[in-house]
């Protein structure tokens, strides 16, 4: 939406309600909003959604712009790109918005796949890029996680060949939830990015205990052949609005852009919500604390139940059930709890997302009954 030439930017924001809603000015008055309430039906702990929902300022920003959704989103999109570039300390042409970070991952798969390259990834791991690349012609080199269910970086480095075009690192990993020690990952990326493009998927990193120490975006700033992807679907609680982004060098951003739906694909409400959420540090911090509390309570229950689990740093926990996952899923479903799909080859392990406190109480009861 173009500000009318007759209005300056501040007057325009007032006229549209954006200023009142706190969209453009962090900390401005916020609209009152309902928070997600504890559900009565099945508890959905299978998709790694953030049950605490979007921040009140993101909701207010969307409400303020509902009446202008007849406009294309380009001005808002530009502002979001500028805000992300500023936050990440990169230039705007190093930021690529996507319809969720999933669209960006798929674009990388469509870009590289037809070269029939080798792509190295961990197993079990997140498959969105991998599946698309494989369908487009890539050969996937799957490297099993180590006995702590963490990426096995030396084994991954040993698989690099002249045909390798990408190493995909999901950190924290989905489904295991493990985080690679940052010094180890940084040294690995510095070394292997001399030979191949590296993509670090940081979808869950803001749920972890120390985002700043673990993000690899500084390696993009150094100019290495690296892509970092992030999403507003997880800590920001905006999965339904489909906004994610990549930070990389301008040439890679340009290539990826040409394999995406288009610059106008991200929707206006999602963009304004993301912009507001980016500034809402208090809400993000608070959500991180609640996710960590849920994670800690679940791992202490699993310890009591004598179950192995991978050290979790996302908004989910991956643990050993001692039975085929299909049976475990069914038994949890009978208790009203939906858990994640199977993750081969670990077919007696289960991933559970951290839900609202009442949802977790129900999940704990079910786990005690089934595993106790």
Residues binding ligand PLP (CB under 6 A): 48, 100-102, 126, 170, 174, 201, 203, 231, 233, 239, 244
Nearer to ligand PLP, 17 or 312 (CB): 312
- Cβ distance to ligand PLP smaller for residue 117 or 314: 314
Quick one: 283 or 316, whose CB is closer to ligand PLP? 316
Minimum separation from the CB atom of position 21 to ligand PLP (A):
24
- Min dist. Cβ of residue 58 to ligand PLP (A): 15
Comparison of 170 and 346: residue with beta carbon closer to ligand PLP: 170
22 versus 126: smaller Cβ distance to ligand PLP: 126
Among residues 240, 242, 239, 248, the alpha carbon closest in space to that of 265 is found at 242
In angstroms, the CA 11 to CA 28 distance is: 15
Residue placing its CB nearer to ligand PLP in the complex, 237 or 294: 237
Count Cβ neighbours within 10 Å for each residue of 163-186 and write b for 16 or more, e otherwise: ebbbbbbbbbbbbbbbbbeeeebe
- Least spacing, CB of residue 107 vs ligand PLP, in Å: 12
Q: Which is nearer to ligand PLP, 196 or 231 (CB)?
A: 231
Nearer to ligand PLP, 24 or 88 (CB): 88
Give me the least distance between CB of 145 and ligand PLP, in Å please: 14
**Nearest distance in Å: CB 122, ligand PLP:** 11
CB of 289 to ligand PLP, least distance (A): 21
Which residues contact residue 358 at a Cβ distance below 8 angstroms, ignoring those fewer than 6 apart? 38
Q: Which is nearer to ligand PLP, 126 or 259 (CB)?
A: 126
Closest approach of ligand PLP to the CB of residue 20, in Å: 29
309 neighbors 302 (Cβ within 8 angstroms): yes
- Distance, CA of 119 to chain centre: 21
Please identify, using beta-carbon distances, which residue of 144 and 322 lies nearer to ligand PLP: 144
Rg value, the chain, Cα: 21
- Shortest Å, Cβ 249 to ligand PLP: 21
Least gap, CB of 206 to ligand PLP (angstroms): 12
How many Å apart are CA 53 and CA 50, to the nearest integer? 6
- Provide the minimum distance between the beta carbon of 171 and ligand PLP in the complex, in angstroms, as a whole number: 9
In the complex, residue closest to ligand PLP by CB: 100
């Amino acid at each position: 939406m173009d500000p009318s030439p007759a209005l300056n930017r501040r007057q325009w924001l007032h006229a549209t309600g954006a200023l009142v809603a706190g969209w453009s000015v962090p900390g401005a008055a916020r609209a009152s909003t309902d928070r997600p309430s504890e559900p009565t039906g099945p508890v959905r702990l299978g998709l790694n959604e953030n049950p605490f929902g979007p921040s009140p300022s993101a909701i207010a920003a969307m409400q303020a712009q509902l009446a202008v959704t007849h406009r294309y989103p380009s001005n808002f999109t530009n502002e979001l790109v500028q805000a992300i570039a500023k936050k990440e300390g990169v230039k705007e042409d190093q930021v690529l918005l996507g319809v969720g970070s999933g669209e960006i991952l798929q674009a990388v798969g469509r870009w590289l796949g037809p070269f029939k390259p080798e792509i190295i990834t961990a197993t079990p791991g997140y498959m969105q890029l991998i599946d698309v690349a494989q369908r487009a012609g890539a050969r996937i080199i799957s490297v099993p996680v180590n006995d702590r269910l963490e990426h096995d970086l030396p084994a991954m480095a040993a698989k690099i060949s002249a045909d390798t075009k990408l190493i995909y690192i999901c950190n924290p990993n989905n489904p295991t939830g493990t985080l690679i020690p940052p010094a180890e990952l940084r040294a690995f990326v510095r070394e292997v990015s001399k030979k191949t493009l590296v993509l670090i998927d940081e979808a869950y990193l803001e749920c972890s205990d120390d985002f700043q120490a673990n993000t690899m975006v500084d390696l993009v700033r150094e100019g290495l052949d690296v892509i970092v992807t992030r999403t507003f679907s997880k800590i920001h609680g905006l999965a339904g609005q489909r906004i994610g982004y990549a930070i990389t060098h301008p040439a890679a951003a340009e290539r990826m852009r040409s394999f995406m739906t288009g610059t106008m694909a991200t929707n206006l409400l999602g963009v304004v919500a993301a912009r507001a959420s980016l500034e809402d540090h208090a809400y993000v911090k608070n959500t991180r604390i609640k996710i960590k509390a849920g994670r800690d309570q679940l791992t202490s229950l699993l310890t009591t139940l004598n179950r192995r689990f991978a050290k979790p740093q996302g908004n989910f926990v991956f643990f050993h059930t001692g039975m085929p996952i299909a049976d475990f899923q069914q038994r949890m479903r009978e208790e009203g709890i939906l858990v994640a799909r199977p993750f081969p080859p670990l077919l007696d392990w289960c991933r559970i997302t951290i839900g609202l406190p009442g949802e977790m109480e129900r999940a704990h009861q079910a786990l005690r009954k089934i595993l106790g």
